[in-house]
Structure 1
């Protein structure tokens, strides 16, 4: 089973590599067959990654998101799903290149790590844990897309190039990515609070991961309101999307690498 999962992982990595390559070539050449090939490779990679995730879930008996390998694998899967959502809805093509590239980086960083699935500790053995973590990374993936769209908005405003979607569409997609990410992250916080109460008897703990997660939620709650304020629309909103993803990255990786936390997944 582990050998099959490893083979699938390398096949997924190869598919996403091919997609990034074809999207890069598509940017200057603008040939329809190039983006179709790239999109087909993303679809193939996502399908294989879904199979690999299902196999890991089946062999472990739970959604495997309890160590760095597993969370990066699941995060990359969520990023690919988010890209596919925007591609099917808006036909963004190579405009989603950053998210696919992030997916590739996440997968590449775990290829040499152990894919073993550790036993589940009792406090995590609940559907609330699965809902909390999966919704968290779903929100992170939409925030990553918002970051990408924010960068593209600022570039398009400066360059006014036909290689990128127009400003109105980029703004619309950015606001949608933030809103959907905020909805998923809100559900993540709700289920996480219920899980904490069931496991420890309180809804919120002042550990560093919990505090920064609350800050991320507050930041994106503010962004959901900022889109209605004229001075924050457009470039200001794009800049907030970039700053927000920095908070997300610090909450996800920075705390575990740089600080001490008593959060169960650190």
Structure 2
């Protein structure tokens, strides 16, 4: 059920993402180029609507509003759509976009029933370092989610070998690129987060559970950037690592914020 307080722009964006999913499914069944073009147009439309909604919330709050569960899911969805558009425009992955848009729909389906209220910002967060930390964190997460999607498609393509999906070498290349870009962005997230922590609390790193697991995410993906050069981890092994890595990301993002006590709660 969609909350009555949700922005009509966000509801319209959700409808456009849903319609794009249907167009992608029809493309898989009928193999008509016009259908994937329609799906892509709908994704661009949905992303534009979501971007306007984000700009409105940012202007209203006076800061990047990513401080509760609704806001993080909304921003994660926006970042994932932007990541997908990057790969679609650059590589023309077409039907491979279906899996990514389904992930996006899951995020928005979970977010829409929640209260979209923008809470006041506590003084410790009122700094550009907070904005940079959050921005690079979720865009990095989005690239890791994209890598997970590409890895799942790689494993599927390896099993069924269809011409509807990109060839295995391209899927492998895109997966490795998504991991590398996500790692670079997440590294910036940790750098700005450390500087922010020092300014706010006088230390660069603390042993709170969120900080520890964020460092574990960084270590895991640093290892993946190396693993692509190790023969036994190339191809299928790398795809399974991408799937496992996204599980670690989800626990760091949702598991800790919702189930455990930390300095990054999701209310």
Q: Which interval holds the TM-score relative to the shorter structure?
A: over 0.9
Does structure 1 conserve the Cα–Cα contact (< 8 Å) formed by 2:24 and 2:35? yes
Does structure 2 conserve the Cα–Cα contact (< 8 Å) formed by 1:207 and 1:263? no
1:2-81 equivalence runs, <5 A: 6-81=7-82
Tell me, what secondary structure is at the counterpart of 2:7?
helix
What is the distance in 2 between the residues matched to 1:7 and 1:265?
24
Consecutive aligned runs of 4 or more in structure 1 exceeding 4 Å deviation: none
What is the distance in 2 between the residues matched to 1:37 and 1:20?
10
What is the distance in 2 between the residues matched to 1:5 and 1:69?
11
What is the distance in 2 between the residues matched to 1:265 and 1:123?
17
| Backbone CA RMSD of aligned residues | 1.5
What is the distance in 1 between the residues matched to 2:266 and 2:180?
26
CA shift, 1:262, in A, is: 2.7
Could you list the runs of 5+ residues in structure 2 that have no partner in the other structure? Answer: none
Tell me, what secondary structure is at the counterpart of 1:202?
coil
Does structure 1 conserve the Cα–Cα contact (< 8 Å) formed by 2:136 and 2:185? yes
CA shift, 1:28, in A, is: 2.4
Paired position in structure 1 for 2:179: 178
Q: Does 1:107 align with 2:99?
A: no
Could you list the runs of 5+ residues in structure 1 that have no partner in the other structure? Answer: none
CA shift, 1:259, in A, is: 1.4
TM (norm. structure 2) is 0.96
What is the distance in 2 between the residues matched to 1:96 and 1:210?
32
Aligned length: 265
1:1-266 equivalence runs, <5 A: 6-263=7-264
CA shift, 1:29, in A, is: 1.6
Does structure 1 conserve the Cα–Cα contact (< 8 Å) formed by 2:70 and 2:116? yes
Tell me, what secondary structure is at the counterpart of 1:203?
coil
What is the distance in 2 between the residues matched to 1:216 and 1:171?
21
Does structure 2 conserve the Cα–Cα contact (< 8 Å) formed by 1:219 and 1:244? yes
TM (norm. structure 1) is 0.97
Q: Deviations over 1:220-245 (max 9, x none)?
A: 00000000111111001001000000
Tell me, what secondary structure is at the counterpart of 1:116?
coil
Does structure 2 conserve the Cα–Cα contact (< 8 Å) formed by 1:28 and 1:163? no
Change in Cα spacing, 1:12 to 1:60, as seen in structure 2 (3 Å) is: same
